[in-house]
């Protein structure tokens, strides 16, 4: 018997009785499936397989010994992985690879194969030692996770595309609505102006004029809101200054001097229209009554915030409240009272001697 066949003797060993080669007994009894092949024989056949290998593959020892390991391969075994094993054998190096293998009953299992050459003292490869591990559960789990990940990624991609499309549609709609609001506000103003030009009765014309100014105030509020960086906040101080400048500028009255000292007063945009209308009533009234009959003078505007309370003051140096028929029952006065209540503001009229003064105070966020 050649020396390299010595291990065959171990087959006959009764390891359960603790006799013979203890290493060979360990290889036989381990739960790790193992084979040994002999590269000196044609086609490098299996010359030993343990019990665990037989259990794993379903073949008996007689069906295994003498065959090349490739008998475990099947149609779905990855060719590239097989090529890796072949290359390792040719290069006489070790290799670790996951292979899809087939059992005797035709079912498949994932085989974590570790193959290494066994050399003699001269360095010649005398055997290849191969251990197998059924890692079907692990590979399956990875495959399922990879599949799920891919499915989720596809789903996320589809959802993102849906959301982007929805956002684009909403943005377009918002722009369209915004454009229409602006155009309609402009057209309402234009209609009123065109009508106002054709009214011969000065009393009616002046009422329409006042209405036109209210619509214009709303238009200005809207314009300032969309032009500001934060559309949820409205600077009522800047609006007041804008209003006074426009009213005086449009009147062409270079004899009315504006004395403005205005701090930024930010209010929520929901209060913008109401505050804008209140200020419009006061400012247009001051110009109409405080500087009537070509009387020159100064219009004073103050806007300040202190300890959570905002204050806007508008004053003229005209005839004060003794002036001809300051309309206490007109729509303007009613608007100021009701809108002030709506936004929690307090309107106060006072005689400033000379002139009239209006003060609006309201709470603001600190």
Partner 1 sequence: MINRPCAPLNVLIVEDEALLAMDIEAMVEDAGHKVVAEAASLFDVEDLDSTLVPDLAFVDVQLAQGTNGIDVCHLIRERWSDAFVVFVTANPLKIPEDYAGGHGVIPKPFSRNGLLSAMRYIEEGVCDPPPTSPQPASFIAAPAFAASWK
Q: At its nearest, how many Å lie between partner 1 and the CB of residue 199?
A: 14
Q: State the Cα–Cα distance between residues 176 and 354, nearest whole angstrom.
A: 50
Q: At its nearest, how many Å lie between partner 1 and the CB of residue 311?
A: 22
Q: State the Cα–Cα distance between residues 293 and 296, nearest whole angstrom.
A: 9
- Taking the least distance from each CB to partner 1, the nearer of 124 and 184 is 184
- Taking the least distance from each CB to partner 1, the nearer of 33 and 276 is 276
- Taking the least distance from each CB to partner 1, the nearer of 47 and 300 is 300
- Cα three-residue angle 311-316-321, rounded to 5 degrees: 100
Q: How many C-beta neighbours within 10 Å does residue 39 have? A: 18
Q: At its nearest, how many Å lie between partner 1 and the CB of residue 213?
A: 8
- Taking the least distance from each CB to partner 1, the nearer of 216 and 317 is 216
| SS3 at position 93 | coil
User: Residue 299 in contact with residue 258, Cβ under 8 Å?
Assistant: yes
Q: At its nearest, how many Å lie between partner 1 and the CB of residue 217?
A: 7
Q: How many C-beta neighbours within 10 Å does residue 234 have? A: 24
| SS3 at position 173 | helix
User: Residue 262 in contact with residue 277, Cβ under 8 Å?
Assistant: no
Q: At its nearest, how many Å lie between partner 1 and the CB of residue 332?
A: 17
- Taking the least distance from each CB to partner 1, the nearer of 151 and 177 is 177
Site residues (CB under 8 A) for partner 1? 178-179, 182-183, 185-187, 189-191, 193-194, 197, 212-213, 216-217, 219-220, 222-224, 227, 238, 242, 245-247, 249-250, 252, 258
Q: At its nearest, how many Å lie between partner 1 and the CB of residue 221?
A: 10
Q: State the Cα–Cα distance between residues 28 and 8, nearest whole angstrom.
A: 12
Q: At its nearest, how many Å lie between partner 1 and the CB of residue 293?
A: 20
DSSP 294: G
- Taking the least distance from each CB to partner 1, the nearer of 51 and 241 is 241
Looking at the chain, list the stretches that DSSP marks H as alpha helix, in order from N- to C-terminal side: 8-11, 22-29, 51-57, 61-64, 79-91, 136-196, 202-227, 236-251, 272-285, 331-343
Q: How many C-beta neighbours within 10 Å does residue 69 have? A: 23
- Taking the least distance from each CB to partner 1, the nearer of 141 and 191 is 191
CA distances in angstroms from 365 to 226, 234, 266, 307, 344, listed in the order given? 22, 13, 8, 9, 13
- Taking the least distance from each CB to partner 1, the nearer of 88 and 185 is 185
Q: At its nearest, how many Å lie between partner 1 and the CB of residue 233?
A: 17
Please classify residue 27 by burial: count the beta carbons closer than 10 Å to its beta carbon, then call 0-12 exposed, 13-18 middle and 19+ buried: buried
């Amino acid at each position: 018997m050649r020396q390299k066949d010595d291990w065959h003797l171990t087959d006959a060993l009764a390891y359960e009785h603790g006799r013979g080669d203890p290493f060979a007994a360990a290889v036989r009894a381990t739960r790790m499936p193992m084979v040994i092949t002999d590269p000196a024989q044609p086609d490098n056949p299996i010359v030993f397989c343990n019990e665990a290998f037989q259990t794993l593959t379903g073949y008996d020892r007689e069906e295994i010994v003498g065959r090349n390991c490739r008998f475990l391969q099947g149609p779905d075994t990855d060719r590239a992985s097989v090529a890796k094993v072949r290359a390792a054998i040719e290069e006489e190096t070790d290799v670790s690879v996951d292979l899809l293998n087939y059992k005797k009953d035709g079912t498949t299992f994932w085989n974590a194969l570790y193959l290494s050459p066994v050399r003699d003292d001269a360095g010649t490869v005398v055997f290849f030692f191969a251990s197998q591990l059924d890692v079907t559960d692990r590979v399956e789990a990875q495959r399922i996770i990879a599949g799920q990940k891919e499915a989720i990624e596809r789903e996320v991609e589809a959802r993102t595309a849906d959301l982007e499309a929805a956002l684009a549609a909403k943005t377009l709609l918002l722009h369209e609505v915004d454009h229409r609001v602006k155009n309609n506000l402009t057209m309402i103003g234009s209609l009123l102006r065109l009508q106002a030009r054709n009214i011969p009765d000065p009393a009616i014309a002046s009422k329409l004029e006042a209405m036109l100014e209210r619509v214009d105030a709303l238009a200005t509020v809207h314009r300032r809101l969309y032009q500001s960086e934060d559309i949820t906040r409205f600077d009522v101080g800047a609006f007041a200054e804008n209003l006074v400048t426009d009213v005086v500028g449009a009147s062409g009255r270079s004899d009315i001097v504006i004395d403005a000292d205005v701090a930024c007063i930010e209010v929520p945009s929901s209060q913008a229209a109401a505050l804008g209308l209140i200020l419009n009533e006061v400012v247009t009234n001051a110009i109409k009554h405080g500087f009537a009959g070509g009387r020159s003078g100064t219009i004073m505007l103050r806007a300040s915030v202190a300890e959570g309370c905002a204050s806007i003051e508008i004053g003229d140096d005209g005839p004060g409240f003794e002036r001809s028929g300051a309309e206490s029952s007109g729509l303007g006065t009613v608007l100021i009272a009701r809108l002030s209540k709506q936004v929690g503001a307090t309107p106060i009229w006072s005689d400033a001697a000379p002139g009239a003064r209006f003060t609006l105070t309201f709470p603001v966020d600190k």
